[in-house]
């Protein structure tokens, strides 16, 4: 029915092949990450980077069997622990000579107040800081393999977010719904500032891009921490995208030929989408960048 078609939203029509190319997708053992991996495995080599290695291996072997592509590899990556992120990057750089597409897809949503191994509020720590560090560690390899793309999975929820520099880790006040919004706004601002920096340096000739996206409201286990949301998701599942439909914009940002030199943008349903005024604030983006570097103990100029 046309209502269902409307819910499904845009589809990635690109048939671009990724022979000889390497893609990393974080959190690809379930939901839209897994569907993104399934599609890209029909095109090239995919590395599924997840916290739960058993689930990651199960997803990888299912995708290998289905696509006939033996180059779908599971690797351990816990974004809630900077030590794990550094170990993942180190191993990857030692084993793989190429990296063309990095899809920062993993996320936690609506979790009760908790902290990462490094003392960051969990949603900001995993959704923003973990991916910020991962991107930093892999940037040189992406640069060497340009044209390359960085794809950050954000959310429409960024409209409800603000970067609370006075209480980044929610120690003074914490609302799990708002904390998710803040972390998704951080994704948009990170993408914007990253694109600006890449452009300044070498983007012009290289086609090295960074874009963010909203996958849509997807029926997945991302809401597992909230009983109410889980219950609502079940009732309204007809009006939610399937994980496969939700993966379309990630796939589009990763492969669409027409995005070769498009950078610093935000997409939804495989087309440019509206970014909140806070998501376009360059001063906040710059400040978030330097605060993130400070928290992670890195220098990223």
Helices (H), the chain: 2-8, 31-40, 53-67, 82-95, 122-124, 131-144, 176-198, 204-206, 227-235, 243-246, 248-255, 282-296
CA atoms within 13 A on the CB side of 294: 8
In a 3-state reduction of DSSP, which class is residue 57?
Answer: helix
Tokens read off for 83:
């030590």
Q: Which of 113, 180, 252, 274 is catalytic?
A: 180
Catalytic (active site) residue 180? yes
The DSSP letter of residue 173 is -
Tokens read off for 168:
């980044």
Please give the Cα distance from 29 to 48 (Å, whole number).
Answer: 7
Q: For residue 271, give every residue at least 6 positions away whose Cβ sits within 8 Å of its Cβ, in sequence order, or none.
A: 10
Contact 169, 119 (CB under 8 A): yes
Contact 37, 12 (CB under 8 A): no
Query: How close are the terminal C-alpha atoms of the chain, in Å?
Result: 51
User: Vertex 298, ends 174 and 129: CA angle to 5°?
Assistant: 30
Angle between helices 282-296 and 176-198 (to 10 degrees): 100
Number of H helices, E strands in the chain: 12, 8
Please give the Cα distance from 15 to 141 (Å, whole number).
Answer: 25
Active-site amino acid positions: 180
């Amino acid at each position: 029915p046309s209502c269902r078609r409307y819910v499904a939203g845009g589809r990635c029509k690109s048939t671009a092949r990724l022979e000889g190319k390497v893609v990393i997708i974080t959190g690809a053992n379930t939901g839209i990450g897994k569907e993104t991996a399934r599609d890209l495995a029909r095109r090239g080599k995919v590395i599924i980077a997840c916290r739960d290695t058993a689930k990651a291996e199960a997803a990888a072997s299912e995708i290998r069997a289905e696509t006939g592509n033996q180059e779908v590899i599971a690797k351990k990556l816990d974004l809630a622990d900077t030590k794990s992120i550094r170990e993942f990057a180190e191993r990857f750089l030692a084993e793989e000579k190429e990296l063309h597409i990095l899809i920062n897809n993993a996320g936690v949503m609506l979790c009760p107040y908790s902290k990462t191994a490094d003392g960051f509020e969990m949603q900001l720590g995993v959704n923003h800081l973990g991916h910020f560090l991962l991107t930093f560690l892999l940037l040189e390899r992406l640069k060497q393999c340009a044209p390359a793309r960085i794809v950050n999975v954000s959310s429409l929820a960024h409209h409800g977010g603000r970067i609370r520099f006075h209480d980044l880790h929610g120690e003074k006040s914490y609302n799990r719904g708002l904390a998710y919004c803040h972390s998704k706004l951080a994704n948009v601002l990170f993408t914007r500032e990253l694109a600006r920096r890449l452009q300044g340096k070498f983007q012009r000739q290289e086609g090295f891009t960074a874009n963010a996206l909203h996958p849509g409201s997807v029926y997945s286990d991302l809401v597992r921490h909230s009983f109410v949301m889980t219950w609502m998701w079940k009732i309204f599942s007809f009006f939610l995208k399937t994980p496969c439909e939700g993966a379309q914009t990630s796939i589009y940002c990763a492969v669409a030929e027409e995005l070769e030199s498009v950078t610093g943008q935000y997409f939804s349903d495989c087309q440019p989408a509206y970014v909140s005024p806070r998501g376009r604030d360059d001063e906040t983006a710059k400040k978030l960048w330097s605060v993130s570097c400070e928290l992670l103990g890195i220098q990223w100029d």
